[in-house]
Structure 1
Amino acid sequence: MTKDDRYGATDDDYSDELDGYASDSATASGSSVETVTVESEPEESTSEPDPDPLPFIFARRTVKADRDAVPVYVQDQTATEIDELERELSQTFEGDKVMALDVREALIRAGLENVDDVQRVMEEWGYGRR
């Protein structure tokens, strides 16, 4: 088992699609990009969140950015099911590079949003029988 198998590959290319896109395409065609600064009156600062924030996979610089490492040891059957889910999601999101870390965190998020299912699984493992 490689480090990429455990933690997911780090070759997240979503940030490459956004960072420097205009400059890369402009220099490739031999033209230059000119920056125009428009002065305006400062807007009032509001504490309202951005109504349409950039989705996580596009806003991050790398797949590990803005994440804490949380080692998780799983049973063989669970590891097999995660691998199968990763393949299935890669087919579902065919145009996107599905990152293993994203799938694993999505599984955790889904569990946090469905704590009754988490409790059911833990009871199946024997919790609450003492």
Structure 2
Amino acid sequence: MSKDDRYGAAGDTYGDTPPAAENGADTSAADDDTESQTEAEQESADEKTASSGSEPAELPFIFARRTVKADRDALPVYVRPTTADRLDALERELDDRFDGDDVMSLDVREAVVTAGLRNVDDVVDVMEEWGYGRR
């Protein structure tokens, strides 16, 4: 596994959709009728969309981002070799489980941190195993 694969510099294809395609538009050919649409017609269409009361559904994180590093802060984490091996094994397992998706290392690591934050008792157990609370 290369450094780029590990940190997601390459291979994140989720954010590569052209803006027009994200909105469900057919990007295979230019639509000449769009250019001839009057401003009044466009405003009417905008008002209908706004008055429908339905907010567009928020895209899941992996589809809404432009790159794997987008909207993230760097948080350096130093781990022991056994932990790194377990993270690599988890990434391979998730890659098999989500076959067809590009499972990014940064996503796996943030998911592990998020799961830990959801399960603080497990974090406490690990820290106690490491010797915390024995003083």
TM-score by length of 1: 0.78
* 1:57-96 pair list within 5 angstroms: 57-96=62-101
What is the rounded CA distance, in whole Å, between the counterparts of 2:19 and 2:49 in structure 1?
27
Instruction: Give 1:81's aligned amino acid.
Output: R
SS in 2 for 1:15: coil
8 A Cα contact 1:9 1:99, kept in partner: no
Give 1:123 deviation, angstroms: 0.3
Give 1:128 deviation, angstroms: 0.4
Percent of aligned pairs sharing the same letter: 58
Which residue of structure 2 lines up, in the alignment, with residue 54 of structure 1? Answer: 59
Which residue of structure 1 lines up, in the alignment, with residue 31 of structure 2? Answer: 33
8 A Cα contact 2:7 2:104, kept in partner: no
More helix by share: 2
Cα RMSD after superposing both structures:
2.8
Q: Give the aligned length.
A: 122
Greater gyration radius: 2
Structure 1 residues 5 and 128, CA gap change in structure 2 (3 angstroms): farther
Residue deviations 1:75-102 (CA, integer Å, cap 9, x gap) = 1000000000000000000011101000
TM-score by length of 2: 0.76
Structure 1 gaps of 5+ residues are: none
Q: Does 1:104 align with 2:109?
A: yes
8 A Cα contact 2:8 2:69, kept in partner: no
What is the rounded CA distance, in whole Å, between the counterparts of 1:5 and 1:73 in structure 2?
18
Structure 2 gaps of 5+ residues are: none
8 A Cα contact 1:18 1:58, kept in partner: no
Give 1:110 deviation, angstroms: 0.1
Q: Which aligned runs of 4 or more in structure 1 are off by greater than 6 angstroms?
A: none
What is the rounded CA distance, in whole Å, between the counterparts of 2:16 and 2:49 in structure 1?
32
Give 1:10 deviation, angstroms: 3.6
Which residue of structure 1 lines up, in the alignment, with residue 121 of structure 2? Answer: 116
Q: 1:128 aligns with which of 117, 123, 133?
A: 133
